[in-house]
Amino acid sequence: GENVEQHPSTLSVQEGDSAVIKCTYSDSASNYFPWYKQELGKGPQLIIDIRSNVGEKKDQRIAVTLNKTAKHFSLHITETQPEDSAVYFCAASSVGGSQGNLIFGKGTKLSVKP
């Protein structure tokens, strides 16, 4: 089945700097890769996603890149702000697996220092 590795587990940046979170997946059949942001005490919120037929997608300060050959995808946040502080989860679609339709990474706790 699919396995998703996420790094780093914690990330601290200064306000205004960029932050990059990386994930790798194991199943070459995976074709959909969403990213979720979880603020303290809240449920994960979908912030951006990408399909396997696209190499990059951007939404304001957030971008996601996908390298199908290497089976890894990354979340890039530019001009970070304190409100970007949260736990970020990557996920990969699971085809016919036993873990539901998405397999999640273990999360990255991002801290943006003012």
User: Is 20 one of the binding residues for another protein (CB under 8 A)?
Assistant: no
Q: Which of 13, 20, 22, 31 lies at the binding interface for another protein (CB under 8 A)?
A: 31
Is the Cβ of residue 8 or residue 16 nearer to another protein in the bound state? 8
Residues 39-98 that bind another protein (CB under 8 A): 41-46, 49, 51, 89, 93, 97-98
Burial 51-80 (b: 16+ CB within 10 A, else e): ebeeeeeeeeebbbbbeeeeebbbbbbeeb
Q: Other CB atoms closer than 10 Å to residue 45's CB: what's the count?
A: 11
- From CA 26, how far away is CA 46, in angstroms rounded? 22
Q: How far is the CB of 85 from another protein (least distance, A)?
A: 15
Q: How far is the CB of 16 from another protein (least distance, A)?
A: 27
The closest alpha carbon to 62, from 42, 43, 84, belongs to 84
Residues that bind another protein (CB under 8 A): 31-32, 34, 36, 41-46, 49, 51, 89, 93, 97-102, 104-107
